[in-house]
């Protein structure tokens, strides 16, 4: 069965520099006296520590548990005592401290109980078990993608609404210098194949393609041999793909193998594809068949500043200085250590960081080997970057928009589809650090969006408040009107009654009545004057209105007084 | 202890802008040799003069702009502009015309826009167009004739230099109009029979100008091989020019024939070295095709119905105007997108 391979746009052919770290077999290094375990070694929510300072822990024991689905637990890579739980600088480009569990190892390497999946469940084969149970076992083994991004492995395999047709096991390892996957496939091809079989079973895909770049013939041969010896599922196929960077990028590899593209706002599962790294497959195999959680990995040590370049099986949490000491590192001036390869790796902010689940390579170059970037020239729009971009972007335009801070145009030119592979910078004759520009612009746009969301919420709130106030005011006004109407009706009625009463009442009682009214009115005037005075003293805007109220009350009083005088005159005249 | 932190990638293919410029310069050498072989020392002297002038103007403007002079001088772009102008100008161009052209190209068309890469117009062609419209006589009567065209030996180095630096006209026997110009004049007064009788058109590949164009074509193929340029602009430009000539100008008694369009004038120099100037040309793959085709069509139109015999400078400059628009309407389709985006960002 021959597979038709497809091409992705662009790509580059950088110097491989893989040979120097493949001369020796995978070695181990002595147990470090201390292990530093960040609670976040995967992409997603950090794990939550469940041990306390002073606790004794056994090898393989859970020391931090997953929080939610997008998280994996952390296990003790060796036995010892928890000596601290504190913030430490970790292997992250930001250099910001993160919560870490520190274990002082006791050198006994004493395992906790770690039954494999079959002993645990009393089953003979995978098909006897529900997928959920296998996935739970993988999840509890703390496995996150070992290729670099560290996405929780089990999470990718849970059923989605899309049917998976192809499982891709990524052994392309296209990045220069890194040989961790290469050596794994050469030496432990069985693990990879067995792991692939488990993943294939879980994904229920029709086929499983193990893709390896054709610059790794030994690995391809080893996989083929293992495939024949193990007589596994015939749906598993080894595919040799042409060496071109970045063929190991998830999107590019999917394009090469299936001809399909992952939608810009989607994930591979949307087009029926699941991608897992070869290291991840091997880790799944060890978890399922040996009950081993993810407590070690293969890390490449390479670069001219390292005297024994090669691949080392290291415990997760191994401090970098310990690793460098046992790989023959000779410090350079200026000192530069890259986590990852020469194209996408990031420089570590300081030496004292731990190796974590995603640490595939430690590259310590000399300046003659990887010269520091010289001063950038101006962009001459030569278009080399356009030819190199594996995403089909216009890197030179994105650079201009980034420089001009024209975020709208940058977004319209799909800056968020940039995978930061570095192909554009690699070929730029003007040596412009293009990827750095894009990262900066993406960061700015994200910040802007966040601020926009916030201000949108604030605006909404403000409008809601205004609406509410207007509604209350309207209700009040309506109530006031109703009251005034009722009062007017009542007044009219009373006046009518009073007039009737006055017509029949004696003048004396009328005078009495008026005098009572005048007294009440005088009260009102005094009250109005008081509140007017108070307003005036407080210098309030309402003072004017209150003054008018005073005048009104005084006029009423005068009217009443005149009425009284008139009434009295009438009485005197009659008498 | 803090380590050195720098942004990825940490490796580079060791190409540089200077290397790009020098490779383009290298690729013009075959053409330069042929021009010198057939038409004498004029072009070489022009290039030498233009180079010195260009470096002087570039250095002076950089100094005024308070930019690091040697850092920018070593990018080689000023020299390349001078080289292209030197190749484009007639061999007996008076020295002051060359200086004006180079000065305008470097100071106005390039540095005042912000220097390398910021120029919307091709600097060499801006300089060329300026002197062509300003000093038409000096630019049309100073073309050297090859031995095959004039029947005389070409002028010696000393005679050529003296002609250039005194600015005195060269004897008619040694200088004249270009084949394109001659042919156009002939067909307006006679027929192709009279044209064929002229020394200029005597025999196939005989005048020198065909060889110059073929040499520039060879250099252009070298640039393609070195991936300094892509095929889009030269191919679309030459195809557009050929199609125009075949469809409109099939009658050789009325129009210049295709062979003359392709192998005389600045056609190949324009197609591979001038229209492909990246800073002022379109940069998207489809955009380059449109841009190149535009240059080809304009080249034909101006050559055929315009008053100037050749039109590479005008055709390129006109398309320079259109390049930013073409670029924004010809974005390639990005991975994972159903179709390419076009035009300007939509206002929200």
Residues A437 and A520 in one domain: no
Residues A435 and A523 in one domain: no
Neighbours of B241 (CB within 10 A): 26
DSSP category for residue A78: S
pLDDT digits (tens, 9 = 90+) for B38-47: 888 999 999 9
pLDDT number for residue B113: 93
Asked if the model's pLDDT at residue B98 lies above 80, the reply is yes
Nearest C-alpha of chain A: how many angstroms from B246?
32
pLDDT number for residue B165: 87
pLDDT digits (tens, 9 = 90+) for A432-486: 999 999 999 999 999 999 999 999 999 999 999 999 999 999 999 999 999 999 9
Q: How many residues does chain A have?
A: 575
pLDDT number for residue A541: 78
Residues A172 and A256 in one domain: yes
DSSP category for residue A35: E
Residues A139 and A270 in one domain: yes
Asked if the model's pLDDT at residue B192 lies above 70, the reply is no
Share of chain A above pLDDT 90, in %: 69
Provide the number of CB pairs (under 8 Å) joining chain A to chain B: 171
pLDDT digits (tens, 9 = 90+) for A355-374: 999 999 999 999 889 988 77
Q: What is the CA radius of gyration of chain B?
A: 21
Taking the C-alpha atoms of residue A386 and residue A409, their distance in angstroms, rounded to an integer, is 17
Interface of B with A in 11-30 (CB under 8 A): 11-13, 15-17, 19-20
Taking the C-alpha atoms of residue A422 and residue A14, their distance in angstroms, rounded to an integer, is 11
Taking the C-alpha atoms of residue B147 and residue A289, their distance in angstroms, rounded to an integer, is 88
Residues A262 and A409 in one domain: no
Is residue B9 within 8 A of residue A246, CB to CB? The reply is no
Neighbours of B79 (CB within 10 A): 21
B65 falls in which pLDDT band (50, 70, 90)? very high
pLDDT number for residue A505: 65
Q: Average pLDDT of A388-405?
A: 94
Taking the C-alpha atoms of residue A10 and residue A392, their distance in angstroms, rounded to an integer, is 7
Is residue A130 within 8 A of residue A122, CB to CB? The reply is no
Containing domain of residue A555, as a range? 508-575
Closest to B336 in 3D by CA, of A275, A259, A252, A262 = A262
Asked if the model's pLDDT at residue B205 lies above 70, the reply is no
Residues A443 and A514 in one domain: no
Asked if the model's pLDDT at residue A1 lies above 60, the reply is no
Asked if the model's pLDDT at residue B203 lies above 60, the reply is no
A528 falls in which pLDDT band (50, 70, 90)? confident
Q: Which of B1, B9, B15 sits opposite A429 (nearest CB)?
A: B15
pLDDT number for residue A104: 95
Closest to B108 in 3D by CA, of B123, B88, B86, B89 = B123
Asked if the model's pLDDT at residue A553 lies above 90, the reply is no
pLDDT number for residue B155: 82
Q: Which of A346, A371, A396 sits opposite B283 (nearest CB)?
A: A396
Specify the higher pLDDT residue, A189 or B199: A189
Residue of B nearest to A408 (CA): B345
Asked if the model's pLDDT at residue B253 lies above 80, the reply is no
Closest to B152 in 3D by CA, of B132, B166, B172 = B172
Residues A132 and A216 in one domain: yes
- Taking an 8 Å cut-off on Cβ atoms, the answer to whether A429 and B345 are in contact is no
Q: Is A275 contained in some domain?
A: yes
Least confident stretch, A42-56, A197-211, A250-264, B195-209: B195-209
Neighbours of B42 (CB within 10 A): 29
Beta strands per DSSP E along B78-153 = 143-144
Q: What is the count of structural domains for chain A?
A: 3
Taking the C-alpha atoms of residue A358 and residue A186, their distance in angstroms, rounded to an integer, is 20
Which domain-ending residue is among A274, A292, A310?
Answer: A292
DSSP category for residue A16: -
Q: Is A299 contained in some domain?
A: no
- Apex CA A164: angle with CA A161 and CA A168, to 5°? 140
Taking the C-alpha atoms of residue B237 and residue B270, their distance in angstroms, rounded to an integer, is 9
Residues A411 and A520 in one domain: no
DSSP category for residue A245: B
Nearest C-alpha of chain A: how many angstroms from B35?
28
- Which residues have C-beta within 8 Å of that of residue B285, sequence separation ≥ 6? A386, B230, B232, B330, B332
How far is the first Cα of chain B from the last one, in angstroms, to the nearest whole number?
48
A407 falls in which pLDDT band (50, 70, 90)? very high
| Strands A27-28, A310-315: pairing kind | parallel
Asked if the model's pLDDT at residue A426 lies above 90, the reply is yes
Which chain A residues contact residue B3 at CB under 8 A? 334-337, 347-351
Q: Average pLDDT of A420-424?
A: 94
Which domain-ending residue is among A261, A292, A323?
Answer: A292
Q: Express the helix, strand and coil content of chain B in percent, nearest 5 each.
A: 65, 0, 35
pLDDT digits (tens, 9 = 90+) for A138-188: 999 999 999 878 899 998 888 777 789 999 999 999 999 999 999 999 999
B333 falls in which pLDDT band (50, 70, 90)? very high
- The two tokens of residue A243 are 């060496």
Neighbours of B199 (CB within 10 A): 15
Residue of B nearest to A271 (CA): B336
Residue A329: strand pairing partners? A306
Interface of B with A in 68-87 (CB under 8 A): 71, 75, 77
pLDDT number for residue B190: 67
Nearest C-alpha of chain A: how many angstroms from B122?
12
Residues A165 and A287 in one domain: yes
Taking the C-alpha atoms of residue B70 and residue B75, their distance in angstroms, rounded to an integer, is 9
pLDDT number for residue B195: 58
User: Residue A436: in which H helix or E strand, if any?
Assistant: helix A434-504
pLDDT number for residue A162: 78
Q: Average pLDDT of A536-565?
A: 86
Q: Which of B279, B331, B332 sits opposite A381 (nearest CB)?
A: B279
Asked if the model's pLDDT at residue B197 lies above 60, the reply is no
Mutate to test the interface with A, among B5, B6, B7, B10 (most CBs of A within 10 A): B10
Is residue B25 within 8 A of residue B75, CB to CB? The reply is no
Q: Is A496 contained in some domain?
A: no
User: Residue A89: in which H helix or E strand, if any?
Assistant: strand A80-89
DSSP secondary structure of B36-87: HHHH-THHHHHHHHHHHHHHHHHHHHHHHTT--HHHHHTT-HHHHHHHHHHH
| A402-435: burial string, b at 16+ Cβ within 10 Å, e else | beeebbebbbbbbbebbbbbbbbbbbbbbbbbbb
Is some CB atom of chain A closer than 8 A to the CB atom of B179? no
Asked if the model's pLDDT at residue B201 lies above 80, the reply is no
- φ/ψ (deg, to 5) at A546: -65, -35
Residues A438 and A533 in one domain: no
- φ/ψ (deg, to 5) at A353: -120, 160
Q: Is A91 contained in some domain?
A: no
A92 falls in which pLDDT band (50, 70, 90)? confident
Is residue A11 within 8 A of residue A423, CB to CB? The reply is yes
Q: Is A563 contained in some domain?
A: yes
Q: Which of A334, A342, A429 sits opposite B20 (nearest CB)?
A: A429
Residues A439 and A522 in one domain: no
- Taking an 8 Å cut-off on Cβ atoms, the answer to whether A377 and B284 are in contact is no
Q: Is A322 contained in some domain?
A: no
DSSP secondary structure of B210-268: HHHHHHHHHHHHHHHHTTSS-SHHHHHHHHHHHHHHHHT---TTTS--HHHHHHSTTHH
B336 falls in which pLDDT band (50, 70, 90)? very high
Q: Which of B1, B6, B13 sits opposite A347 (nearest CB)?
A: B6
pLDDT digits (tens, 9 = 90+) for A236-273: 999 999 999 999 999 999 999 999 999 998 999 999 99
Nearest C-alpha of chain A: how many angstroms from B272?
14
DSSP category for residue B153: P
Residues A140 and A286 in one domain: yes
Least confident stretch, A91-95, A293-297, A408-412: A91-95
The Cα-based distances of A349 to A176, A337, B109 in angstroms read 21, 9, 45
CATH of the domain at A212: 3.40.50.11540
B193 falls in which pLDDT band (50, 70, 90)? low
């Amino acid at each position: 069965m021959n597979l038709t391979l497809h091409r992705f746009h662009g790509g580059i052919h950088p110097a491989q520099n893989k040979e120097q770290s493949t001369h020796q077999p995978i070695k181990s290094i002595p147990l470090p006296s201390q292990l530093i375990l960040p609670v976040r070694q995967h992409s997603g929510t950090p794990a939550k520590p469940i041990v306390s300072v002073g606790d004794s822990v056994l090898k393989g024991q859970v020391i931090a548990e997953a929080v939610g689905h997008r998280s994996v637990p952390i296990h003790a890579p060796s036995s010892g005592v928890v000596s601290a739980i504190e913030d430490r600088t970790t292997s992250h480009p930001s250099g910001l401290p993160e919560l870490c569990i520190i274990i002082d190892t006791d050198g006994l390497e004493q395992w906790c109980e770690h039954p494999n999946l079959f002993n645990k469940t009393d089953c003979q084969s995978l098909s006897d078990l529900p997928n959920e149970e296998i996935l739970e076992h993988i999840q509890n083994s703390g496995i996150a993608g070992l290729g670099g991004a560290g996405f929780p492995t089990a999470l990718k395999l849970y059923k989605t609404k899309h049917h998976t047709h192809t499982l891709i096991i990524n052994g392309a390892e296209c990045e220069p210098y890194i040989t961790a996957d290469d050596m794994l496939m050469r030496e432990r091809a069985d693990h990879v194949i067995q792991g692939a079989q488990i993943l294939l079973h879980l994904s229920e895909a029709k086929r499983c393609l193990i893709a390896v770049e054709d610059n790794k013939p030994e690995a391809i041969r080893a996989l083929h041999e293992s495939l024949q010896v193990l007589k596994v599922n015939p749906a598993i196929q080894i595919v040799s793909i042409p060496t071109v960077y970045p063929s190991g990028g998830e999107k590019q590899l999917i394009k090469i193998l299936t001809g399909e593209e992952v939608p810009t706002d989607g994930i591979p599962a949307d087009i029926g594809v699941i991608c897992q790294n070869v290291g991840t497959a091997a880790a799944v195999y060890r978890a399922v068949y040996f009950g081993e959680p993810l407590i070690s990995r293969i890390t490449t040590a390479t670069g001219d500043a390292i005297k024994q370049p090669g691949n080392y099986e290291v415990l997760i949490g191994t401090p970098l200085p310990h690793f460098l000491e046992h790989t023959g590192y000779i410090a350079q001036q200026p000192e530069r250590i890259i986590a990852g390869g020469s194209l996408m790796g990031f420089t570590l902010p300081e030496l004292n960081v731990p190796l974590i689940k995603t640490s595939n390579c430690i590259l310590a170059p000399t300046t003659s080997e990887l010269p520091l970037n010289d001063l950038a020239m101006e962009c001459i729009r030569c278009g080399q970057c356009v030819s190199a971009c594996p995403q089909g972007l216009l890197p030179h335009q994105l650079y201009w928009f980034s420089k001009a801070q024209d975020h709208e145009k940058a977004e319209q030119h799909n800056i968020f589809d940039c995978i930061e592979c570095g192909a554009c910078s690699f070929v730029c004759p003007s040596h412009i650090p293009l990827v750095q520009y894009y990262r900066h612009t993406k960061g700015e746009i994200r910040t802007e969006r966040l601020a926009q969301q916030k201000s949108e919420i604030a605006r909404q709130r403000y409008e809601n408040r205004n609406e509410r106030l207007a509604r209350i005011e309207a209700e009040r006004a309506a109530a006031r009107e109703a009251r005034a109407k009722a009062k007017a009706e009542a007044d009219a009625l009373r006046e009518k009654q009073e007039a009737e009463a006055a017509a029949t009442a004696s003048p004396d009682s009328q005078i009495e009545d008026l005098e009572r009214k005048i007294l009440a009115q005088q009260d009102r005037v005094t009250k109005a004057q008081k509140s007017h005075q108070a307003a005036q003293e407080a210098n309030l805007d309402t003072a004017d209105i209150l003054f008018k109220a005073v005048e009104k009350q005084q006029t009423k009083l005068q009217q009443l007084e005149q009425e009284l005088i008139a009434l009295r005159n009438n009485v005197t005249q009659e008498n | 202890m803090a380590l050195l932190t720098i942004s990825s990638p940490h490796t580079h293919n060791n190409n540089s802008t200077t290397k790009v410029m020098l490779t383009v310069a290298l690729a013009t050498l075959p053409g330069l040799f042929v021009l010198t072989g057939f038409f004498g020392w004029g072009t070489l002297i022009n290039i030498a003069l233009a180079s010195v002038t260009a470096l002087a103007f570039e250095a002076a403007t950089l100094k005024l702009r308070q930019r690091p002079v040697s850092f920018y001088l070593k990018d080689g772009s000023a020299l390349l502009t001078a080289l292209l102008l030197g190749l484009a100008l007639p061999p007996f161009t008076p020295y002051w015309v060359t200086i004006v052209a180079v000065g305008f190209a470097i100071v106005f068309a390039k540095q005042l826009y912000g220097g390398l890469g910021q120029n919307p117009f091709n600097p060499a062609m801006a300089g060329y167009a300026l002197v062509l419209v300003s000093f038409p006589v000096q630019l049309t009567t100073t073309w050297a004739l090859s031995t095959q065209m004039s029947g005389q030996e070409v002028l010696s180095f000393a005679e050529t230099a003296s002609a250039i630096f005194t600015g005195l006209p060269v004897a008619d026997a040694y200088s004249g109009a270009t084949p394109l110009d001659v042919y156009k004049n002939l067909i307006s007064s006679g027929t192709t029979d009279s044209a064929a009788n002229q020394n200029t058109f005597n025999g196939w590949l005989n005048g020198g100008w065909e060889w110059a164009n073929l040499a520039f074509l060879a250099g252009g193929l070298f640039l393609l091989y070195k991936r300094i340029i892509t095929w889009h602009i030269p191919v679309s430009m030459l195809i557009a020019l050929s199609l125009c000539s075949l469809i409109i100008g099939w009658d050789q008694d009325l129009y210049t024939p295709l062979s003359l369009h392709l192998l005389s004038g600045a056609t190949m120099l324009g197609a591979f070295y001038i229209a492909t100037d990246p800073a002022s040309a379109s940069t998207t793959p489809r955009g380059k095709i449109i841009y190149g085709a535009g240059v080809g069509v304009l080249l034909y139109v101006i050559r055929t119905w315009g008053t100037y015999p050749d039109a590479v400078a005008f055709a390129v400059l006109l398309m320079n105007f259109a390049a930013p628009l073409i670029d924004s309407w010809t974005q390639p389709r990005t991975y994972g997108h159903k179709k390419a985006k076009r035009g300007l960002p939509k206002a929200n």
